[in-house]
Structures are given as structure tokens and as C-alpha cells.
Amino acid sequence: MYIKYFYSRPIEGKILIKNPITEETHMWNSSKFFRRFTMCAVYDDESKTINFGVAICDETDQFDKRIGQSIAVRRAMSTPFYVIENFNGKRNDYADEVRSRFISMEKKLLKKYYPFFKF
């Protein structure tokens, strides 16, 4: 079994906040409050499948790769978001498809959680 991981990049954003009492406007850095994602592709040479799993970090949690990895692998084995069947065992042949699945899922998740942003 071979596992490939993908981590979403941190998103930086600025939000203008207006104090209703003083009428002052402040710039607030909100990069800490955007979700991050850990995805994995689990290559199983025996069953000739590649299972994909994803872990979603909550907005209030500290992003931790190890925790995300364990959750993503567990989900890839139990409830994968995508499966490639009958792969011929040469991982390099599937590198582009695996990467495109990761990027596609990242875009889907970003649109789901942040529909007001244009990605």
C-alpha cells in the first residue's frame, strides 16, 4: 500500500469591520479562520484500486498535518470520495489523474464553504 497526500494552501483574506459605536473601520486579517483540507490517495496494489479520502479542518481548529492524514486515510478506506479501479500498478501513470482529483475536490470544497469568494 502506498499513500500520496495533498494539503490545501492557506487562504489569506482581509475583512473590513465597522464599529457601530465609534463609526471607525478596521482591517481584520481573517487567514486563521479559513478551513484547510488534507486529502490522500491510497494505492492498493493487490486490489488494483486507488481510494481517495478527505479531512476537513474546522475554522476554529489549528491545522495539523498528522491529524488530517490519519482522518483522510481512514475515510479513504471506509467512505472514499472517489475510487479508481483496475489500475495497472504503475503509480507514475496515474500521477496526473490523482493530482487533478485533488484539485477538483479542493475547488468543490472551497465553493461549498465560501460561495461568496471567486476562486
| pLDDT tens, residue by residue, 10-28 | 776 666 666 677 777 766 5
- Bridge partners for 46 per DSSP: none
Residue 55 inside a domain? The answer is yes
Instruction: Examine residue 81 and state whether it is found in any structural domain, yes or no.
Output: yes
- Tell me if 71 is assigned to some domain: yes
Q: Is residue 118 assigned to a domain? A: no
Q: Rounded to an integer, what distance in angstroms lies between the CA atom of residue 29 and that of residue 88?
A: 47
Q: Indicate whether 85 belongs to any domain.
A: yes
- Encode 70-80: b = buried (16+ Cβ within 10 Å), e = exposed: ebbbebbeeeb
- Which of helix, strand or coil describes residue 3? strand
29 close to 14: Cβ distance less than 8 angstroms? yes
Q: What's the pLDDT tens digit per position in 54-107?
A: 999 887 788 899 999 999 999 999 999 999 998 876 777 788 889 999 999 999
Q: Domain span at residue 35?
A: 2-113
Tell me, what's the pLDDT at 46? 86
Sequence-separated (6 or more) residues with CB below 8 Å from residue 16: 25, 26, 27, 28
Query: What pLDDT score was predicted for residue 96?
Result: 86
Residue 6 has pLDDT above 70, yes or no: yes
Number of compact structural domains in the chain: 1
Instruction: Assess if residue 34 is contained within a domain.
Output: yes
Is 66 a member of any domain? yes
Residue 73 lies in a domain: yes
pTM of the model: 0.77
> What are the tens digits of pLDDT across the range 104-116?
999 999 888 877 7
